[in-house]
Structure 1
Amino acid sequence: MMKPTVSLFATLFAVAVQAATPTPPAAPPAAPAPDNTPRLAYGFLMKHEEKLVFSPCRDRTYMLVEDVSADRQVGRGLEMAGLADGRKLYVELFGVVEGNNTLLRASELNLALADGRCQKPGGSDEAWLASGNEPGWALAAGGEKVTLQRQGAPEVNLPYRVFTRQGEVAQFSGEGPGARLDVRFERKLCRDSRGDTVFGWTATVQVDGQTLQGCAWQR
């Protein structure tokens, strides 16, 4: 008659011990991985004692710029635009901001303009802009259409599609009533032949048997 009592006592003791054992706290959720996607930063840049100092448009803060681009593409473009002469540049750089907004690691130059003013970033209707001289022409791509304007020639309008990207090249081809357009942008420094602006892309546009050369930049 004692065995059931002992067994019941042992079961109650085990339940009591288990209830008294604290449950370990749940592990805290893992911190989200940092977003290292380069984004467009636009503002003014000057060289001060071998350091590049950047101030975003409509912002009184400052941050240092570190050139992490391949083959010093950013630094070479800034020098082409006149940075070595002590000039203040308006620049658009793709990069990642670190160090509590004190460091911009710049990986690509979009454009650099000596003594320029802040420009409004492109909206949903602009993904790319390109232009050239001799003859003068301008291309805008984004939203619903690609538009090419040339001196002495009718305007070309074609439906927009996202440019195909392969390595350092972005391309677009389209055909409409009476016009075929082939656009090729290559990521190489390109200087405006009539100004002090340096862009991050070269542009080649073929239309109606004509080849147009110029520069391109992203919006």
Structure 2
Amino acid sequence: MRAARSVLFVALLPLFAGCQMFADKPTNATAGMTRMQGVLKGEGGHLLFQPCQEQRRFMVNDTGNTGVLQEASAQASKPGTIFVDLLGSFAANKGGGNDGQLNLHQVYRIERAASACEDPNFKRLTLRASGHTPNWDLKVSGKGMVLEREGQQPLALPYLEEQLPDGRFNLTSEANDQRIELWVAPQRCVDSVTGGVQHLTAELRVNGQTQRGCAYYGGSRNE
């Protein structure tokens, strides 16, 4: 009888293991992280992050291997402060006169800018894309998108968004006898004029004519 029970117990082990496997929930890699904007400064051999409109300073620990030190160094020769839009977790451990540590996971945008912290449009946008030659700028929100192009009147349009593999997506709109398409991919992009770095590449197509540029998520979108 004891042998029969042992055989039954061994036979049930794979079943229990299978139940445990399906019971485990997938983890969110960015759970507990915060998106913030601010400025970067170098001091005492360390890179420090100071949030917009705050006096607190956090020592940057590049846990996500974002290359932020190299990106900041590339911006050092340009005028203005080094603005950064990032995602990470904040630790309260103080040291060296700082207010804690920033464990950096992702950089959305880094550039030399004097007033990026005061951008009134940032919080309500889901995406912003822009390019040059000629200059164009596309602001996207939950209410629609506004396309501005050099030498033309701004164009306000509704749009449809389609998700594509590998984190890519596109926005399309057909109105006023025009077809507008924006194709976006998660890839480091350097602005050809300012030298700023953004985390998305963008390709604008207007009636079949293509212009390339960079893009970043606005404050209403985190992915």
TM-score under structure 1 length normalisation = 0.70
Q: Secondary structure at the match of 1:90?
A: strand
Unaligned runs of 5+ in 1: 1-34
Which residue does the alignment assign to 2:37? 42
Instruction: Measure how far apart 1:211 and its partner are.
Output: 0.5
Matches within 5 A, 1:126-165: 126-153=125-152, 155-161=154-160, 164=163
Once the two structures are superposed, residues 66-90 of structure 1 have per-residue CA deviations (whole angstroms, 9 ceiling, x without a partner) of: 21335x353443333238x9x8412
Q: Which amino acid in structure 2 is aligned with residue 217 of structure 1?
A: Y
Instruction: Measure how far apart 1:58 and its partner are.
Output: 1.2
Instruction: Measure how far apart 1:52 and its partner are.
Output: 1.4
2:103 matched to 1:105? yes
CA distance in 1, matches of 2:184, 2:33: 19
Query: Closer, same or farther in 2 for the Cα pair 1:103/1:37, shift >3 Å?
Result: same
Query: Closer, same or farther in 2 for the Cα pair 1:180/1:38, shift >3 Å?
Result: farther
Q: Secondary structure at the match of 1:182?
A: strand
CA distance in 1, matches of 2:164, 2:181: 14
Q: Secondary structure at the match of 1:45?
A: strand
Which residue does the alignment assign to 2:87? 94
Q: Contact between 2:47 and 2:69, CA under 8 Å: does it hold in 1? A: no
Counterpart pick for 2:63 among 61, 65, 68: 68
Q: Contact between 2:86 and 2:107, CA under 8 Å: does it hold in 1? A: yes
CA distance in 1, matches of 2:187, 2:71: 10
Q: Which amino acid in structure 2 is aligned with residue 52 of structure 1?
A: L
Which residue does the alignment assign to 2:73? 79
CA distance in 2, matches of 1:42, 1:59: 11
2:118 matched to 1:123? no
Q: Contact between 2:159 and 2:172, CA under 8 Å: does it hold in 1? A: no
Query: Closer, same or farther in 2 for the Cα pair 1:97/1:163, shift >3 Å?
Result: farther
**Percent of pairs identical after alignment?**
24
Q: Secondary structure at the match of 1:211?
A: strand
Work out the number of aligned pairs and report it.
183
Instruction: Measure how far apart 1:136 and its partner are.
Output: 0.8
Q: Secondary structure at the match of 2:106?
A: strand
Instruction: Measure how far apart 1:141 and its partner are.
Output: 0.4
CA distance in 1, matches of 2:169, 2:43: 35
Instruction: Measure how far apart 1:37 and its partner are.
Output: 4.4
TM-score under structure 2 length normalisation = 0.69
Which residue does the alignment assign to 1:193? 192
2:197 matched to 1:211? no
Query: Closer, same or farther in 2 for the Cα pair 1:148/1:88, shift >3 Å?
Result: closer
Which residue does the alignment assign to 2:13? none
CA distance in 1, matches of 2:67, 2:169: 18
Unaligned runs of 5+ in 2: 1-29, 94-98, 219-223
Q: Secondary structure at the match of 2:72?
A: helix
